[in-house]
Amino acid sequence: MSSVPGRHRGWYKRLVSSLLSDYDFELPEAQIAQHPLGARDASRLMTVSRSTGAWEHRRFVELPELLRPGDVLVLNDARVIPARLLGLKAGTGGRVELLVVRPAASTLTSAALVQAPEASEWICLGQASKGLKPGARVEFPSGLTAEVLAALGGGEYRVRFQAPPGASFQQLLEQAGRLPLPPYITREPEAADAERYQTVYARSSGSVAAPTAGLHFTEATFQALAARGVRRVTVTLDVGPGTFLPVREEKLDRHKMHPERYGVPEETAAEVNAARAEGRRVVAVGTTVARTLESATDPQTGRLRAGLGDTVLFIRPGYCFRQVDLLLTNFHLPRSTLVMLVSALLGRERTLAAYREAIRAGYRFFSYGDAMLVTE
């Protein structure tokens, strides 16, 4: 487990970088994957050792042989919703785009962890041809309407949706909404994206972005992992827009993470806690899983707690991991919180060196790109 002894944490934190510019790198635009490969598991896999910084170039299909019997693989089963709504202002016809982010209710009570299918008030990111103000009404092609209740700052709005009689917001969102592909994919969604921008194990609807480290898995992968003796459990974290929004503060202490909802099932907490007690490794599939596991850890006992919660945890160098031993992740944006999370586990210099090697070797970056496994 990556950690720094308590008596050394003070000087260690003073040495780690707290500046945004220290997580920058040059990425050729041609290496930003615009489409998925023909097969999910055809991706390349770069392994990087935390202890030595050494890397190897592999294929994703080799993942099972890189893990050990008894390892616990933790996946995020969030399903992406068609969260992008395009409408017109009532009365003026001005264009409006809303990205449905999360229910406005501050507490989560759903046994399904993240779903709030009948909720009418949501927090949205919004933009319009002449701005959005409280009281503005928006009409969508499906008969769905929306009223802007409040501007929350940072492009966020509290919005009340109204569905026609006999319909639900969830139903109309499925009809009228578009898949919210990340902004670095510079094309409109295609029919294939509806399947390929979801993991094969996606279950719990509510995310505005895919947990992309999981996009490489196939049923054949899971069969090979099971034959290897690798255990598999899930958590849920609804990926929010903070995944894509740029960090604007040069001093990272000033950056605020957008809240994201998560849930940890009882069986997952039991499996992870047993692994920790028995010295078996926990493998986080993606930064969303890493943040969920670390957010749900009891600060007193170090045990993973089951249940629901919201996280604003910002993991960057200086953070001491309590649950994650290995991390499977894609290659991320320069100057992003995701690169900083990887750097917290691997180290900033080794992370940037690995990224330079990945660029040299022609790896594909971001959501539809290749994968990296941070090992011991």
Topology of domain 6-79+192-375, CATH: QueA-like (3.40.1780)
Distance in angstroms (rounded) separating the CA atoms of residues 291 and 141: 37
Query: Residue 229, CB half-sphere, CA atoms under 13 Å: how many?
Result: 8
Q: Give this prediction's pTM.
A: 0.89
Distance in angstroms (rounded) separating the CA atoms of residues 41 and 284: 18
Q: Where are the domains of the chain?
A: 6-79+192-375, 83-176
Tell me the percentage of the chain whose pLDDT exceeds 90: 78
Distance in angstroms (rounded) separating the CA atoms of residues 270 and 338: 27
Topology of domain 83-176, CATH: Thrombin, subunit H (2.40.10)
Q: Each residue's pLDDT tens digit in the chain (376 positions)?
A: 444 443 333 334 445 678 999 999 999 999 999 999 999 999 999 999 999 999 999 999 999 999 999 999 999 999 999 999 999 999 899 999 999 988 887 544 333 333 444 458 899 999 998 889 999 999 998 889 999 999 998 889 999 999 888 888 888 888 889 999 999 999 999 999 999 999 999 998 889 999 999 999 999 999 999 999 999 999 999 998 877 678 999 999 999 898 899 999 999 999 999 999 999 999 999 999 999 999 999 999 999 999 999 999 999 999 999 999 999 999 999 999 999 999 999 999 999 999 999 999 999 999 999 999 999 9
* Tens-place pLDDT, residues 110-150: 333 334 444 588 999 999 988 899 999 999 988 899 999 99
Give the distance from CA 11 to its chain's centroid.
31
